[in-house]
Amino acid sequence: MSLDGPGLLSALLDKAKKAGADAADAMLVESQSLSVTQRLGKLENVERSESADLGLRLFIGKRQAIVSTSDLAGDSLDRLIEGAVAIAKSVPEDAYAGLADPERIATDMPELDLDDGVDHETHHLAAMAAEAEDAARQMPKISNSEGATAGWSRTRSTLAASNGFVGESARSGHSISASVIAGDGDGPMERDYDHASRVRAADLPDPAEIGRKAAERAARRVNPVKVKSQSVPVVFDPRVAGSIIRHLISAISGPAVARGTTFLRGRLGDEVFAQEISIVEEPHRPNGLRSRAFDAEGLPASAGKLIDQGRLTTWLLDCASARQLDLDPTGHAVRGVSSPPSPSPSNVYLEPGALSQKDLIATITDGFYVMEMLGMGVNAVTGDYSRGAAGLWIEHGELGFAVSEVTIAGSLPDMFKHITAANDLEHRTGMDAPTLRIDGLTIAGE
* Digit-coded pLDDT (tens) for 240-295: 999 999 999 999 999 999 999 999 999 999 999 999 999 999 999 999 999 999 99
* CA–CA dist 398, 393 (Å, integer): 8
Find out whether 58 and 16 touch, Cβ atoms under 8 Å.
Answer: yes
pLDDT at residue number 299: 98
* CA–CA dist 287, 291 (Å, integer): 7
The DSSP letter of residue 397 is T
Q: Three-class SS of residue 271?
A: strand
Find out whether 70 and 86 touch, Cβ atoms under 8 Å.
Answer: no
pLDDT at residue number 186: 66
Range list for CATH 3.30.2290.10 in the chain: 5-218
CATH superfamily for 5-218 is PmbA/TldD superfamily (3.30.2290.10)
pTM of the model: 0.94
Least confident of 37-41, 172-176, 188-192, 259-263: 188-192
Find out whether 421 and 436 touch, Cβ atoms under 8 Å.
Answer: yes
Q: Three-class SS of residue 345?
A: coil
Residue 1 has pLDDT above 60, yes or no: no
Mapping DSSP onto H, E and C, the string for 63-132 reads EEEEEEECCCCHHHHHHHHHHHHHHHHHCCCCCCCCCCCHHHCCCCCCCCCCCCCCCCCHHHHHHHHHHH
Q: What mean pLDDT is predicted for residues 305-329?
A: 97
pLDDT at residue number 185: 67
* CA–CA dist 64, 84 (Å, integer): 9
Least confident of 92-101, 125-134, 375-384: 375-384
Residue 301 has pLDDT above 60, yes or no: yes
pLDDT at residue number 184: 73
Q: What mean pLDDT is predicted for residues 70-84?
A: 93
Mean of per-residue pLDDT scores for the chain: 95
Sign (positive or negative) of CA dihedral 208, 210, 213, 214: negative
Residue 2 has pLDDT above 80, yes or no: no
Q: Three-class SS of residue 423?
A: coil
Residue 323 has pLDDT above 90, yes or no: yes
pLDDT at residue number 386: 95
3-state helix, strand, coil in the chain (%, to 5): 25, 40, 40
Find out whether 252 and 306 touch, Cβ atoms under 8 Å.
Answer: yes
Q: What mean pLDDT is predicted for residues 410-418?
A: 96
pLDDT at residue number 188: 80
Residue 49's DSSP bridge partners are: 33
Find out whether 116 and 93 touch, Cβ atoms under 8 Å.
Answer: no
Per-residue pLDDT band at 73 (split at 50, 70, 90):
confident
